[in-house]
Amino acid sequence: MSKSEKKLLEAILFASKEPLDIKTIKSKLKRGSDALKILYNIQLEYKDRGINLVCIAEKWSFRTPSDLSEKLKKEMYVEKKLSKAAIETLAIIAYHQPITRSEIEEIRGVSFSTGTLEVLFELGWVKPQGRKNVPGKPLMYATTDTFLSHFNINSLEDLPNTEELLAAGLIDNRVDSSIFGTVKFTENDNAQIEDKEYGNVDDMIKDTLEKNE
């Protein structure tokens, strides 16, 4: 068995899209080559590596070791675009947390479906944060560490304040700056926003999400 034959057989097995039987393997080597001896030698050499040479149903191929199967399991991810309601809800929670559902709806000016919060829960960006000490004791919601990580924010203290948002062009001076995450404008709707400016914090988050998809 020569090194060149062993090298050639390794390359053949790596390049093959499917397992090869011994007849096919022999046809690719020089006449008289001991294909089985080379295969067993390669199999022994790869025994403790990240890939193994295996023979299944009399066909040879390289495969990952069975003891690594769980670590190499393929995960399927389904990309979802957040709805306008989810984006606005996320922005409101980020700036007003902990906050109840009714308070979110009061700020937005409209009610929203339970599915809106469920999407934010699935993403791991929002979580329940205790109950408010008022009649009925409604649940309050807050953002998570996953939210901070996704938007590259070290802590909630690093969320931009009114002055920073205005200076960065992420909101304009028509926004009610006391209520982040909403779209409360004055009656002056004639002012034009430059193309690269965001109308509010909701748009900032939406733009970030689209860039990360």
Please give the C-alpha separations between residue 143 and each of 107, 179, 185, in angstroms, as whole numbers.
Answer: 17, 17, 26
The Cα angle at residue 123 between residues 120 and 124, in degrees rounded to 5: 90
For 60-111, write each residue's pLDDT tens digit: 999 888 788 777 776 655 566 778 888 888 888 888 889 999 998 888 888 8
Q: What pLDDT, on the 0 to 100 scale, is given for residue 31?
A: 86
pTM here? 0.47
Segments making up each domain of the chain, as ranges: 3-67, 78-156, 160-203
The C-alpha atoms of residue 42 and residue 30 are separated, in whole angstroms, by: 17
Q: What pLDDT, on the 0 to 100 scale, is given for residue 41?
A: 93
Domains 3-67 and 78-156 share a fold: yes
Give the burial string for 181-196 (b: 16+ CB within 10 Å, else e).
Answer: bbbeeeeeeeeeeeee
The Cα angle at residue 175 between residues 200 and 120, in degrees rounded to 5: 35
Q: What is the DSSP string of 63-116?
A: E--GGGTTTTPPPP----PPPHHHHHHHHHHHHH-SEEHHHHHHHHTS---HHH
Domain 78-156 top-level CATH class: mainly alpha
Q: What pLDDT, on the 0 to 100 scale, is given for residue 126?
A: 93
Domain 3-67 top-level CATH class: mainly alpha
Q: What pLDDT, on the 0 to 100 scale, is given for residue 92?
A: 86
Question: Which stretches of the chain score pLDDT less than 70?
Answer: 1, 74-80, 162, 165-166, 168-213
